[in-house]
Structure 1
Amino acid sequence: MMKKFKLKLVVLSTLSCLVSGQAMADWENLPATGVSVGSDTSPYILCNPTGNFGSGSGADAPVQPTSTSDTCALIPTNDLYAPDSNFTGADRFPKVSNTVDIVMNNTYTNNTDVTVGILRDYVWRRSTGGSTYECIYGMKVTMNSNDYNLTASGTQNFEINDMARSGWSGKTIDIAYSTVPSNASPTYRAGRTFTAVQHRDEAGFVAQPITGLGSSPAINGVNAAPGTAPTAAQQKADIDTDWVDFTTDVNYKDDDGSTNPASGMQYIRTSCSGTNPSPVSGAIRLRQTYQENSGDGVTPNPFIEVEVEGYQ
């Protein structure tokens, strides 16, 4: 009887591992050469383009992922654990982690420091045999209610529409995201590019920007009032293999009325060394690309990039 009981435990344990592996299986390769979009090439792949990239509300609001059938989506029970069933034992936990303030200092803050949120940065690592290793880099932001624009009346909360991270030249990489907690903003697309491309729920804004811009601005789009269509060039982004840009929609209190103060965890998986990394200044860039107006229906939210230290 005891042997049968032990066998049952082994079977249940094995099934549990299989289910866990399936629940964390949907990694997507992000090619260094981009992907085909018709006869063109885009550095971006689509992950969760529901809800007009965060502009929609009510019945048209973004749909949260519920399983790995949703592209790029992982469903971990806790975002402290490595989102890959090959990371077992002590490797399930981060080798290094860092929490840093997101501090803005520019003309909008009257050149003073204003903390608009925090960024959590994790690195998980496992041995793949001999002197080779695989790492997962994860970053997540949580915004606060602080007013960043001290030159205007009222409260303007900083909105993060794109999270970019450097350090991937010469690397084969896979990307994914999770939404823990459950009200975290989904990730709409991810691109092997330095350039964040503005997206609005209006004509002329595209889901997968194509290459051919000929330059690499931090933000590309039309910084004008609603109803102003972008030019074709303002919807392009060129490939930059050192950077990965995740498009999301995070704000303590969004102009469209939604509240998603936390992003999902943005994951990048690749080969790495066995040495713990140290944070590098400016390795992570957080961008506001003016997805909606500033609240009065006329004034555009400004394009803003904030640099934050991160692991490479």
Structure 2
Amino acid sequence: MMKKNLQTSALSVALTVASMTASATGFVQLPATGVVIDGGKSAYITCNTTGEFGSNPNGSTPPTFSPNGGANNTCALKSIDPPVAGYTQTASVVRDIVMNNAYTLNQPITVGTVVDRVWRKGVSCIYGAKIRLNNVDYDRRAISPGVQYFEVNDILRANFLKKAPVSVAYVYTTRGPGQSDDVVYRAGLTNTSVVNFPGDPAQPLISVAPINRKWVDFTTDISFQDDDGSSVRDSAWLLVKSTCSEQTPAETDGALKFRQMGQEEQPLIEVRVKAFDPSAQ
């Protein structure tokens, strides 16, 4: 979606946060038993819910840190080098995001890339991912005219079950006119992604998206060209902080998952990629 990220007067609009748990700049802890909300509990905290989870053609409002503390910066950090002072990068790999299913006629198609990194400070690690989607048609079937671009609404990283506490943050960057990341709308300990339409609650109940302490799910909205008429091809840096050992980070197949959830009625598609695995440290 072409997030025209409102850089003018809209920057002064404060983010309405549905949960007091997620009301701080920087890393925010994901409660292992969920977040208390109206009607029950949710696995999700909210970060930046401007832009209606990407469905608003005017885009989301990016985080700021000044003046007077800034606005729209829940879960946001200023820098990625390093994301937190005192942490040292210990691993970094660029990986292809390869789709291979019935839509691709069972042929591998590289729909994007992800930078996968780990930073460490003693027995604390930060696992980071940043995605860029390609200008490529993934649906090669004859019944699908035109170009179908892979859209990523949810990005999940695995294996935090024994790594409590787990906290999340993101780093948003702007590289020039029309070149910016998408924000993170929410994050939670769940393996059940839920598509968000205008008017839907920002934090689905655990009866809809159950708590799963193995997985951290980030909700965002990126596509080389979105069906709603606008586009952001880059995610923010998506960061998860947890305990770890001092071993070299290990890699596991499928430790990152990318999901197209059908916000514009696209088919539900999941692509899995090898990634650094917290459970192996």
Taking structure 1 as the reference length, the TM-score comes to: 0.75
Question: Deviations for 1:8-60, whole angstroms, at most 9, x for unmatched residues?
Answer: xxxxxxxxxxxxxxxx96210101111001240100000000010011022xx
Please state whether the residue corresponding to 1:184 is helix, strand or coil: strand
Please state whether the residue corresponding to 1:95 is helix, strand or coil: strand
Name the counterpart of 1:218: none
From 185, 188, 191, the counterpart of 1:188:
185
Which structure has greater strand proportion?
A: 2
Corresponding letter in the other structure for 1:135: C
Which structure has greater helix proportion?
A: 1
Name the counterpart of 2:47: 47
CA distance in 2, matches of 1:181, 1:270: 27
Name the counterpart of 2:194: 197
Gaps of 5+ in 1: 1-23, 128-132, 213-235, 293-299
Name the counterpart of 2:145: 153
Identical counterparts, % of pairs: 40
CA distance in 2, matches of 1:277, 1:269: 14
Corresponding letter in the other structure for 1:28: V
Highest CA radius of gyration, 1 or 2? 1
CA distance in 2, matches of 1:160, 1:185: 11
Are residues 1:73 and 2:65 paired?
Answer: no
From 111, 115, 139, the counterpart of 1:120:
115
Gaps of 5+ in 2: 1-23
Are residues 1:272 and 2:269 paired?
Answer: no
Corresponding letter in the other structure for 1:154: G
CA distance in 2, matches of 1:185, 1:281: 26
Question: Deviations for 1:241-262, whole angstroms, at most 9, x for unmatched residues?
Answer: 0100000001011111222110
From 103, 106, 115, the counterpart of 1:111:
106
Report the more deviating stretch, 61-70 or 107-116: 61-70
Aligned residues: 242
Ranges of 4+ aligned residues in structure 1 off by more than 4 Å: none
Question: Deviations for 1:153-179, whole angstroms, at most 9, x for unmatched residues?
Answer: 110100000001111012211100011
Are residues 1:260 and 2:263 paired?
Answer: no
Corresponding letter in the other structure for 2:165: T
Question: Deviations for 1:136-165, whole angstroms, at most 9, x for unmatched residues?
Answer: 000010001110011111101000000011
CA distance in 1, matches of 2:137, 2:160: 34
Taking structure 2 as the reference length, the TM-score comes to: 0.83
Name the counterpart of 1:139: 129
Q: How does 1:1-312 map to 2 (within 5 A)?
A: 26-58=26-58, 61-67=59-65, 69=71, 70-76=73-79, 79=80, 81-87=81-87, 91=88, 94-127=89-122, 133-151=123-141, 152-170=144-162, 171-181=164-174, 183-201=180-198, 203=199, 205-212=200-207, 236-292=208-264, 300-312=265-277
